[in-house]
Homo-oligomer: A and B are copies of this chain.
Amino acid sequence: MPGPLSGIRVVDLTSMLSGPAATMMLGDQGADIIKVEPPKGDQVRSMQRSDDGIPPTFYSINRSKRSIVLDLKQDSSKEVLNRLIVDADVFVQNFRPGVIERMGFGEDAVRAIKPDIVFVSISGFGESGPYSNQRVYDPIIQALCGLADIQADRDTGRPKMVRTVIPDKTTAVTAAQAITAALFHRERTGEGQHVRLSMLDTMVAYLWPEAISGLTFMDREIDPRRGQLGLDLVFETQDGFISAGAVSDSEWQGLCRALDRPDLIDDPRFDSASARVENTGDRRSIMSEEILKWPRAEILARLKAEDVPSAPILKRREILTDPQIIENGTIVEAEYPGVGRVRQPRPAARFDKSPSSIQCPAPRLGENTRAILAEAGYHADDIANMIDGGIIRAAE
């Protein structure tokens, strides 16, 4: 059973993270992703050291794709790309504004070859405006979109960053959704179109619902900080950290029993939801003090028995052995010739009739050059000549 996007072919000129992570989702769902790389390869190939040329971050956003190397400064490579576009449904690029046009593959040029193609442009900041020509670093987007403000230190007000590339990854998922919607529209109407999105716009829309929404009603604005999550629900036990939260009365009562402090149930500081909000400081310090008396596994078992939402705070390595992660099959293991044993998250969404699946490991640079050229109708002799002449490159 092939994935929901099987039969779709994507010519993917993106590099770095926002584009590649988007097309990987489509590849896992069955689309044929042709990753077109320059002779030096996607920069992410060289951003981490690795024994064999495929560093883990590159691997983790480029599985389920094939790689062809084309030097698009050369006319003969441009001709190859033109041939690939003829059979493509989607063309994706995330160069800075204006670059793809200068390369000769702007929308008009591509659409002249394939009139109904879905043409996708992912940018950092937008296609015009003061930042649009600037190189995109994820922290710059975190600075502009409000995320660093959301994370600001409660005491000093100093902005702080999130230590994972939220803007890149959120843009990837948002782009994958938009591309899929454009394919749906094309399937119904026959019409291809240009889909554009920027990391900055994506992040403002993503953060808005609780973190910025205080600014929604213009005549009665609310300080956006009021919509934020409260204090960290992080508690230390004798041997590790847990998270636990008690919102409803029954959860609070369960928490008191789990902590062996039934006396707190009728404490007037905590005997209603509003009292508990009012006395957050006291409640939190009592919880911290009491939880610290227990070993982690024991207090988690007690909280679970009392139906209090709770979980261990896992270190990343602990995720691998958490019983819920194992039950879900969240992380799959495979062994590939030449790559070895690999661990990866399976695609999060499960389709019961057209299941996603990891099509293949991330390709070496140019690994599929010959096969892709052959499919595009080039003869073996021509391919050999092109490789010998340095027009294209195949993997060693």
Residues on A facing B (Cβ under 8 Å): 3-5, 7, 17, 21, 25, 29, 48, 51, 56-57, 59-61, 125-126, 128-132, 134-140, 142-151, 158-166, 169-170, 173-178, 180-185, 187-189, 191-198, 200-202, 204-220, 222, 224, 227-229, 232-234, 236, 241-243, 245, 247, 251, 304, 307, 309-317, 319-320, 322-328, 330-331, 333, 339-354
Let me know if B348 and A229 touch, CB within 8 A.
no
Cβ–Cβ < 8 Å partners of A177 in chain B: 25, 173, 176-177, 180, 349
Which of A175, A201, A349 gathers the greatest number of chain B CB atoms within 10 Å?
A349
Cβ–Cβ < 8 Å partners of A135 in chain B: 251, 309
Let me know if A319 and B145 touch, CB within 8 A.
yes
Contact status of A328 and B201, CB under 8 A, knowing A164-B211, A227-B48, A354-B185: yes
Let me know if A245 and B137 touch, CB within 8 A.
yes
| Chain B residue nearest to A63 in the complex (CB) | B216
**Whole-angstrom CA separation of A207 from B344 in the bound complex:** 11
**Whole-angstrom CA separation of A63 from B230 in the bound complex:** 26
Q: Which of B137, B165, B188 contacts A309 (CB 8 A)?
A: B137
Cβ–Cβ < 8 Å partners of A5 in chain B: 181, 184-185
Cβ–Cβ < 8 Å partners of A309 in chain B: 134-137, 140
Let me know if A317 and B215 touch, CB within 8 A.
yes
Cβ–Cβ < 8 Å partners of A193 in chain B: 351-354
**Whole-angstrom CA separation of A204 from B368 in the bound complex:** 29
A164 to chain B, nearest CB (A): 4
Cβ–Cβ < 8 Å partners of A313 in chain B: 143-144, 148-149, 159
Cβ–Cβ < 8 Å partners of A140 in chain B: 233, 243, 245, 309-311
Q: Which of B218, B317, B345 contacts A333 (CB 8 A)?
A: B218
**Whole-angstrom CA separation of A185 from B185 in the bound complex:** 12
Cβ–Cβ < 8 Å partners of A348 in chain B: 174, 178, 197-198, 201-202, 204-206
Let me know if A216 and B182 touch, CB within 8 A.
no
| Chain B residue nearest to A341 in the complex (CB) | B218
| Chain B residue nearest to A160 in the complex (CB) | B232
Cβ–Cβ < 8 Å partners of A158 in chain B: 234, 236, 241
Q: Which of B57, B162, B343 contacts A218 (CB 8 A)?
A: B343
Which of A162, A176, A208, A342 gathers the greatest number of chain B CB atoms within 10 Å?
A208
Let me know if A349 and B161 touch, CB within 8 A.
no
Contact status of A319 and B196, CB under 8 A, knowing A151-B163, A205-B345: no
Let me know if A209 and B130 touch, CB within 8 A.
no
Cβ–Cβ < 8 Å partners of A346 in chain B: 201, 205
Tally of this chain's copies:
2
A sample of 9 inter-chain contacts (CB < 8 A) reads A29-B181, A60-B210, A136-B309, A161-B229, A184-B187, A195-B351, A198-B348, A204-B345, A218-B340
Let me know if A209 and B328 touch, CB within 8 A.
no
Let me know if B143 and A312 touch, CB within 8 A.
yes
Closest 5 A/B residue pairs (Cβ): A129-B327, A178-B349, A193-B353, A4-B185, A143-B243
Let me know if B229 and A148 touch, CB within 8 A.
no
Cβ–Cβ < 8 Å partners of A164 in chain B: 147, 150, 207, 210-211, 228-229
Cβ–Cβ < 8 Å partners of A145 in chain B: 314, 319
Contact status of A342 and B218, CB under 8 A, knowing A56-B227, A143-B313: yes
Q: Which of B166, B184, B211, B352 contacts A184 (CB 8 A)?
A: B184
